[in-house]
Amino acid sequence: MALAAVLLLVAALSAASHAQEIRITSQQWQGRQIYEFRGYHDVEVFYFRVPDQTVLANWSFTARELTDCEPRNVSIYLKHGSFPVVNPNNATFPNDFRTQDEAGKVKGLSILSDGAKNSLQVEQPLPGDWFLIAFLTFENTRIEQKGIAKYCSTSFTTNLDVTWTNETILLIPEVQNYQDIQIHQSIEQDQQIYYKFFVPVETHWATINIKNCENNCPIQVYWRARALPLIDEAEGLNCTGNISICSTGFLPLEGEWHYLTIAAEANTTYSLKIIYHTCAQEYPVTKYFLTNDLDTGKVCSSVSEVSRFRMLFRGSKQHFEKAEAEVCWDRVGLFRRSMSASFAYEFDLLPDENGTSPLKLEVATGQPTILSFYVNPKQDIGGNMWLDVGMDPKMKTTGYNVTFVVCFSHLERFKPSFNHPKCDPDDFYLLEINATKRYARAVIPYPEPGTWNVVIQPFCHENKSKITCPNETLPFFFSIISSACVYGSCGPLGRCSISRTAGYSLSTCICSAGYKGWGCTDASEAVPYSELLLSTLLLTLSNLLFIPSIVLAIYRKYYTEALVYVSIMFFSTVKKTFIAPVIFIYLFIPLHHILHLKKSEKALERAIRSL
């Protein structure tokens, strides 16, 4: 049954009597060599961890040439949670790729390797893992002989300074739900007060209540999940003029800390209460009391004799509130199946008694259905995750059409809409399927760790007008899979590689023959097939010039010399073939080896040794 729980607001101030900001240097990387960017395998990864309640994070960078070379361009990208998805050569992403660069999650900077100090600041950053990549801009496309051309080496140093606040009022949630407890606060002009509270799982809605506000209530309230609110960007509520009550609701992130900032334009006092609404089952019987010991000396300094007294709070059914029915969406459990390959895992419906998962999911037509799954930090973020959704091809409707709107997002939840916008454009990936498009896919490169939500809502409509669906449920197909590179491969002329840098593994495609891009699928600069074939034939068939020497050596009975010429011709041909594009390597490798080439780089080495 749905219920609403009130947070017990306890003012847990830090030991300091006044607001205090502490500046510390958390991490530093020294003297890492960086390389020119030809593909993501050329980037250098730097890992940082930002503490909770950070007000300002400042990354500083210095790049310098270790040899007598001119300063070169250095590109730097920074992202929270996972590796930054970048496209420095403006290559086309593979089909169905979705990135979150538009939402400002990837921050970039370009500097010169001239030894100057540069910096990048992030206000109120998200706590936890931050990944920075650095590389040199690829400029020289000429092929030069090693040892003749000038050798340049670039060293890159970076460090992180953070400023964090140690004064935050902790709002502690209470298990029982029958109390109405508020915190009374005084605030001065131009002062900001920070609060934080934890939102449990199954919490679908939260409400902020400001009451008993004096002096025309000259305060603004800002809130944000996981980090202190950035006033210019966070959701806000202006309470000015709301003398009786100032209230608003929001959709919180389940299982995450949330932060409030209250700023005042003048001196005032107010009462603050947070209410969260959950769809968890109600406790059948209240079997306990809430007790609170008060120290009268702390409450009223004029009391001469300090004593303590205890208050007992009895549960009362009259304070019980139910969450709105539309808030409590249908939740479907998923289980994870991990494979032996790197970054290979999938999520599926819970298996039945026979150990097999259902092929389709019956989703309700009256309200959204939510699928949630968890991506592990570090070990799960180096691949590409994709979501496939589809309609039953045998599903037939008479007189109306059906459209499934799917909102796919990290942490956030959003109720799909039949009208625009169907999903929030900044934080959600929209997938839409109907009678004319029964299949859709979204590919997420280097997915962020944490909970991902798939919210599904079917809509029945006739002549572009929404109607009530005659069926209570409709069949829906989905698959959630992760693999290295792009579906485990890298286009027609590329190979999938697992790169390891700074202790972290990530999958990347190594392209050849002019192909480029995340999956070696951008053929805008690719060498034509006929030209590749001609160059390979000229490179290998030139070794046929050894034949006259071999014939002459045999004719004159120089068998040792003839064997040497044959060996040189054979191994030179094989070597030149293997530096050609992958497609021509297949001409020289048995079929059973070709089947293994797609699985790993070691298979290629075994095939070469078996020749």
CATH of 3-17+167-324, one of 3.30.70.20, 3.90.1150.10, 3.40.50.720, 2.60.120.380: 2.60.120.380
pLDDT at 201 over 70: yes
Task: Write down the pTM of the prediction.
Answer: 0.82
546-555 vs 559-578: helix crossing angle, rounded to 10: 160
In the chain, the N- to C-terminal Cα span, in Å, equals: 69
Conformation bin of residue 570: beta by default, left when phi > 0, alpha when psi is -120 to 50: alpha
396 and 481 Cβ atoms separated by less than 8 Å: no
The pLDDT-based confidence of 142 (bands split at 50, 70, 90) is low
**In this predicted structure, which of 148-152, 393-397, 412-416 has the lowest mean pLDDT?**
148-152
**In this predicted structure, which of 106-110, 358-362, 572-576 has the lowest mean pLDDT?**
572-576
Q: What topology is assigned to 329-483 in CATH?
A: Jelly Rolls (2.60.120)
The pLDDT-based confidence of 10 (bands split at 50, 70, 90) is very low
559-578 vs 529-541: helix crossing angle, rounded to 10: 160
The pLDDT tens digits of the residues spanning 489-523 come to: 898 888 899 988 878 899 999 988 888 889 998 88
Conformation bin of residue 378: beta by default, left when phi > 0, alpha when psi is -120 to 50: left
Reported as type and span, the H/E element at residue 608 is: helix 601-610
Tokens for 578?
């293997």
The pLDDT tens digits of the residues spanning 292-309 come to: 666 655 555 555 555 555
DSSP, res 522: B
Cis peptide before 421 (omega within 30 of 0): yes
The pLDDT tens digits of the residues spanning 419-446 come to: 877 887 666 788 999 988 999 999 999 9
pLDDT at 162 over 90: yes
pLDDT at 88 over 50: yes
219 and 265 Cβ atoms separated by less than 8 Å: yes
- HEC profile of 80-109: ECCCCCCCCCCCCCCCCECCCHHHCCEEEE
The pLDDT tens digits of the residues spanning 35-84 come to: 999 889 899 999 999 999 999 999 999 999 998 899 999 999 999 999 99
pLDDT at site 426: 60
pLDDT at site 457: 94
pLDDT at 558 over 90: no
What is the CATH number assigned to the segment(s) 21-165? Answer: 2.60.120.380
pLDDT at site 308: 53
Strand partners, 495: 510
The pLDDT-based confidence of 609 (bands split at 50, 70, 90) is very low
Residue 548 CB neighbours (<10 A): 10
The mean predicted confidence, pLDDT, of the chain is 81
Domain ranges, ordered by start, for the chain: 3-17+167-324, 21-165, 329-483, 526-610
Q: Within its chain, how far is the Cα of 169 from the centroid?
A: 30
**In this predicted structure, which of 52-66, 222-236, 456-470, 576-590 has the lowest mean pLDDT?**
576-590
CA 320/CA 324 separation, integer angstroms: 13
Q: Is the dihedral of CA 596, 600, 604, 610 positive or negative?
A: negative
pLDDT at 174 over 60: no
pLDDT at 364 over 50: yes
Do 3-17+167-324 and 329-483 show the same overall fold?
A: yes
